[in-house]
A and B are shown apart, each in its own frame.
Chain A
Amino acid sequence: VNDQEILQLLRSAHEFAQPDRADVRAFIEMGATLSDLGVTSISAMEMAGFIEDEIGVQFPDDELANIGSVSDFVKLVRQYSAKVAP
C-alpha cells in the first residue's frame, strides 16, 4: 500500500467518522495535523476503527492514542498493513 492509497483510505475514514465535514477532506495531506482538520482524538479513534475493518488489522491502543497528524496516521497504517500483506 503506498502513501497515496493510505491518504485515500484516510479520506474515506474521515467521511465515515465526520460525514458533515466534507469541507476539510481535501486538506487531508501529509503535512496536516488532526487539530488543523478539526479531528478530535475520539474521531481519530473512529477513523482508525474504519481502517481496521477495511484492511483487517488491529492498531495497538497506545499507538492510536499518540496520533497527532495525518503523517502519524499514514505511518501507523503503513506499518500494520505491511504485517498483513501477503
Chain B
Amino acid sequence: VSSRANGPVVSRARREEIYREYMSFFDRAERQRRWHPEDDIPWSKLDRAANTEEMAICLETFCGVELYVPDYTANGFVINRELMGHAWFQAAWGYEESKHALVFREYLTRSGLRTVHQFLDFEDQIFAKHWTLPYATRREMICYGAVQEAATYLIYRSQREKYEKLGNSVLSQLFFLVSRDEAAHAGFYRRLLKLEFEHDWEGTLEDVAGVVFSFVMPGTHLVPDFQVRLAVEGVGISGSEFLAHAVFPMLRYVGVSRSQLMRAKRQREARPAQPAADPEFLQQALGVERSKRNAIVGRAGA
C-alpha cells in the first residue's frame, strides 16, 4: 500500500519519515514559535513620524505575496493531500503565512501608511489574479519551497536588521517573528528534500537543477507593478545574496556540488520538456489514481 501524491509512488516507510519530520516541525512550532499578532508586537510604540513611502511599498508588497495563501494552500493540497505529513505541514504553513499577511496589513493601516480603502483596492488587485503551481510534481515543489522560503527569510531578516538600526521596535519585532517562521519553513523543506535524495538521488538532483535555474519569486507575475516595487530597497534581495545564502547552503545541506548540479541540468535539458503544472489536470489525475486504487482495494476485498 502506498501513496502517489502526484509523483513517484511513496512507500509506507517514506510516508512515516515525512510524518515524523512534520511532527518534529510541529512540536517545535507549538512549543517555541507560537505568537499572537496582537500581543507579541509592541503596537503601542508605533510612531507615525517614522512613516515613509518606501516602508509602505515594502510592507504592501510583502502583504500582497502573503495574500495568495488561499491559492498556495489549495494548490499545495492537490499534490500532497495523500501524504499526511506533507499535507499537515501545508495546513500549518498556511496558518503561519496567513498571520504574516495580518501583521503587514495591520501595520499599514494602523500607521496610516495606507487607509483601509486603499488597502481594499490593493486586495482587489491581488485577488483578481490566481497563483498556480510553478512546477508539476510534489518533489519539484519541495525544491521550490526550500529555495523560496530561504529567500523570503533573507528578505525579512534584512528588514528586521534595518529597523533595529533605526530604532523602530514595532517593525523589528514584526520582522523577527515572520522571519523566524520563514526560517523554520525553509528548514522543513530542506529536510524533506534530503529524504527525497535518500530515495532517488539522480531524479531529485535533476529536479533541484530544474528549479534552481528557472526560479522566480511568487510575487513576480502577481503583485501589481512588481518590477517597479523591486527598485525600492528591501523589497527583494540581490542575486549574490540569493546564491550565497539560499542556493549554496541548500546544496551543501543535501550534499550536492555545483558541478553535479550543472551535469544534472544538462541531463534534464536533454530530455523532452515536461508538461507545465495544471491544477485541473492534477485534480483529475489524483481522482483517477484514487479510483484505480479504490477499484483494486474493492477487488481485493471481494
- Is A46 interfacial (CB 8 A cutoff)? yes
Q: CB distance B258 to A61 under 8 Å?
A: yes
- Is A24 interfacial (CB 8 A cutoff)? no
Bitwise, A41-56 to B at CB < 8 A (1) or not (0) is 1101110111011000
- Is B281 interfacial (CB 8 A cutoff)? no
Q: Which residue of B lies closest to A61 (CB)?
A: B248
Q: CB distance A68 to B262 under 8 Å?
A: no
Q: CB distance A65 to B213 under 8 Å?
A: no
One of A44, A49, A64 near B259 (C-beta < 8 A) = A49
Q: CB distance A67 to B259 under 8 Å?
A: no
Q: Which residue of B lies closest to A42 (CB)?
A: B213
Measured in the bound complex, the distance between the Cα atoms of B245 and A65 in whole Å is 9
- Is A62 interfacial (CB 8 A cutoff)? yes
**B109 CB to nearest A CB, Å:** 36
Q: Which residue of A lies closest to B239 (CB)?
A: A41
Instruction: Give the number of residues in B that approach A within 8 Å (Cβ atoms).
Output: 17
**B205 CB to nearest A CB, Å:** 14
Provide the residues of chain A in CB contact with B258, threshold 8 Å: 45, 48-49, 52, 61, 64
- Is A66 interfacial (CB 8 A cutoff)? yes
Q: A46-B262, A49-B259, A52-B259 are in contact. List 11 more A-B contacts (CB 8 A).
A: A41-B239, A42-B212, A42-B239, A45-B243, A46-B265, A52-B258, A53-B259, A58-B259, A64-B243, A65-B241, A65-B243
List the interface of chain A (C-beta within 8 A of B).
40-42, 44-46, 48-50, 52-53, 58, 61-62, 64-68
List the interface of chain B (C-beta within 8 A of A).
212-213, 215, 238-244, 247-248, 258-259, 261-262, 265
Q: CB distance A42 to B243 under 8 Å?
A: yes
Measured in the bound complex, the distance between the Cα atoms of B261 and A52 in whole Å is 13
Q: Which residue of B lies closest to A63 (CB)?
A: B244
Provide the residues of chain A in CB contact with B213, threshold 8 Å: 42, 46
Provide the residues of chain A in CB contact with B259, threshold 8 Å: 49, 52-53, 58
Q: Which residue of B lies closest to A65 (CB)?
A: B244
Provide the residues of chain A in CB contact with B244, threshold 8 Å: 61-62, 65-66
**B220 CB to nearest A CB, Å:** 13
Provide the residues of chain B in CB contact with A62, threshold 8 Å: 244
Show 30 A/B contacts (Cβ-Cβ < 8 Å), sorted by A: A40-B239, A41-B239, A41-B240, A42-B212, A42-B213, A42-B215, A42-B243, A42-B247, A44-B239, A45-B243, A45-B258, A46-B213, A46-B262, A46-B265, A49-B259, A49-B261, A49-B262, A50-B262, A53-B262, A58-B259, A61-B243, A61-B244, A64-B243, A64-B258, A65-B240, A65-B241, A65-B243, A65-B244, A67-B240, A68-B240
Provide the residues of chain A in CB contact with B243, threshold 8 Å: 41-42, 45, 61, 64-65
Q: CB distance B215 to A65 under 8 Å?
A: no
Measured in the bound complex, the distance between the Cα atoms of B265 and A49 in whole Å is 11
Measured in the bound complex, the distance between the Cα atoms of B242 and A45 in whole Å is 12
Best-buried of B212, B247, B258 by chain A (most CB within 10 Å): B258
**A75 CB to nearest B CB, Å:** 15
Measured in the bound complex, the distance between the Cα atoms of B258 and A41 in whole Å is 13
Q: Which residue of B lies closest to A67 (CB)?
A: B240
Provide the residues of chain A in CB contact with B212, threshold 8 Å: 42
Measured in the bound complex, the distance between the Cα atoms of B203 and A24 in whole Å is 34
Measured in the bound complex, the distance between the Cα atoms of B259 and A37 in whole Å is 24
